[in-house]
Structure 1
């Protein structure tokens, strides 16, 4: 079983790979289209700005590759900016098209009287829909660092965190999943989520 961590110079890749190693996944960091296309599972990490990230994915000819892999049934997990890239578009800086794998628009978190942006730190999770990745997450705390949120329909919203608004913490559409927080920085809870994704990938790879 191979999980490919997509390399486009916009991810917290060292920590992601280290976390995957802790749960027994020998993941590969790659921008090679053939490797991505043949992988059993994909992780799209991300730190930074949406327009820059999409431009880098386009530059490496990875947009079509990611969409093709997902279309053939490959499970995909987007982390932080990687989750935002799953949407149709983002309003960050300039309206920019995303991967279009989960319907929605990425919008700025509104600043509140006592709420700083970016939303940074540990927050409690509220599970609103059960998926393969959400078991035992209710009231768990995970680590966030972001200034934008994924505005998606309830059909795609799995977990929220309260930060003045109900911040979408986890979203999904079929075998495409997103985590706005950083599982690789969220201790045992985060490792548990990555382990559940590993199980999804294994189940998919052994059923084909």
Structure 2
């Protein structure tokens, strides 16, 4: 074991939200022999450029997490790390995503959406679930995916985030999914008996910035 560290990486622009997230992370038990560190990145110009700052850290296991994501599954790390160790081909794992990417690049419009998360929008908590009982009891502990959502992206290998293409806060996650697959790794969505995360999504959506990133994605990946 070269570096028994589990590193949580977060881009931070809201300190109160980050502190709430940090308090949850501090409560998570780690597998025997491991310890947890938190790497906050402030003043990042984009998600990709911010996340690239963590690549020099020697931790094998890095979990890229939105500051508005709360880990509510206390045993998450006790399930996640053995899952990686038992599946060396699994490069990256998320909690929600899609088995295929539609031609328009918008993963949540795929017919193969999978996973689950508790969303908090418009002052309301709601379970977003694409899993069936059959899928929860599948032969593997993860569902092979083409893309995962950026609210939680856990990795056991380091691949550079495409900050040369994506200078904002959209499509860094789908492109990174494609990069892992291009490099010969599997991308997966965890089979969750109960949701691992609450995502406080917020009600604002920058449609213009999203569309700009979508066109860049299509030009480079589809």
Normalised by the length of structure 2, the TM-score is 0.29
Report which of the two structures shows the higher radius of gyration computed on alpha carbons: 2
Normalised by the length of structure 1, the TM-score is 0.31
